[in-house]
Amino acid sequence: MRFFLTWIVLLFLISATPIVWGFYGHSLINRLAVFSLPEEMIGFYKPQIQYITENAVNPDRRRYAVEGEAEKHYIDLDYYGDSALQILPKYWNEAVEKYSEDSLRLYGIGPWSAYFNFLNLTKAFETKNSNAILRLSADLGHYLADLYVPLHTTVNYNGQLTDQIGIHGFWESRIPELQAKDYALWIGQAEYVEKPQLAIWDAVAAAHNQVDSVLWIEKELTKSFSPDQKYSYEERNTLTVRVYSREFTEAYALALDNQIERQMKKSIKMIADFWFTAWVNAGQPDLSTFSKESGIEEVIVPDAGIKVRDH
C-alpha cells in the first residue's frame, strides 16, 4: 500500500510538471536505481528516495540558471567526424591538451563531466557528507541517463538538420510518459565497475550507434501518417498543446523494437553500479552512522541571460 501511494504522489508531481529522458524518465530511473543497491547502502538511500527522485531533474533546471551547466548533458560526437570515438581522448586532461577546454565545451562534455561527478560522489562518501552524497547521487543519475539518449550524442540533437524538429522530446519524454508503466525495468543488484571512465564511453558509443535508426525510422513512419494523424492536442496545466498522437507514438516505439525500454534499463543499471562503485572506492563506510536528515533542497533561480539549446 505504501508503494502504491508513493506512486500516486509521484504521478501527481509528474502530471503537474512540464515534460521537459524528461521529468518523468529521470525521476523513474533514479528511483528504480535505489532498489538495486545492496543492504549496506539501501538503508541510507531508501529513506531519501523521494529526494533522489524529485531532484533527478535538477541538472535540467540548472541549465537555465548556471553558466557551463548545459554542456554537461551531451556530446556532439559527429562534430569530430566518423572516427570520433577513436580520436577523442577518453581522459579530460588529454582532451583539453588536444582540443582546448573552450572547444570541448562548445560541443559537449557529457562523458568527462559524468566521471568528475562520480569522483566527487566518491569523495563525499569518504568525508561522510550526507547532503553531498544525496545531491551528487541525484545529479550523477541524471548525467549518466542523459548519455543513454542517442540524440544527446549528435549535432542533429533535435532533428533540426533533417526537418524532424521535436524528435528529441518525443523520444525521451513522450514515449516513456505513455509506455514506461509497461516496461520491465528490474535490473538485479548493483555490481562493481572496474573502469568507470571507460564504461561511460562504452555507453556513449552504444547510444551513438543508434542515432541513425532513431531518425530514419521516424522519417519513414511519417510517410504513413498525415499531419492530423501524427499529431494531436492535449490539455497540460490548463494549456492546450500539440503532441505526437498516441497512434504515432505507439507505431514509432514498436518500430524501434523496444529501444527506449532497453536504454532506460541500461541507464538504471549503470546508475546503481556507479553509486555502489563510489561507495566501495571510498572504503565502504558504514552508512548507518551517517546523518539521517533529508537532503537540502537546491535553490535554482533561472537566468534569462543564459541561452541553451533544446537538450
CA distance 179 to 182: 6
pLDDT at 151: 97
| Sign of the torsion angle spanned by Cα atoms 266, 267, 269, 274 | positive
Transcribe 171-202 into DSSP letters: IIIIHHHHHGGG------S----S-HHHHHHH
Q: Which CATH superfamily does the domain covering 23-288 fall into?
A: P1 Nuclease (1.10.575.10)
From the list 75, 108, 112, 89, the residue with the least C-alpha distance to 211 is 75
Q: What is the pLDDT along the chain (311 residues), one digit of tens a residue?
A: 444 334 333 433 333 333 336 688 999 999 999 999 999 999 999 999 999 999 999 999 999 999 999 999 999 999 999 999 999 999 999 999 999 999 999 999 999 999 999 999 999 999 999 999 999 999 999 999 999 999 999 999 999 999 999 999 999 999 999 999 999 999 999 999 999 999 999 999 999 999 999 999 999 999 999 999 999 999 888 889 999 999 999 999 999 999 999 999 999 999 999 999 999 999 999 999 998 888 888 899 998 889 888 66
Query: Do residues 263 and 207 touch, judged by C-beta distance below 8 A?
Result: yes
pTM for the model stands at: 0.91
Domain layout of the chain by residue ranges: 23-288
C-beta atoms surrounding 194 within 10 Å: 8
pLDDT at 309: 82
pLDDT at 98: 97
From the list 147, 141, 252, 128, the residue with the least C-alpha distance to 200 is 147
CA distance 160 to 162: 6
pLDDT at 24: 86
pLDDT at 237: 81
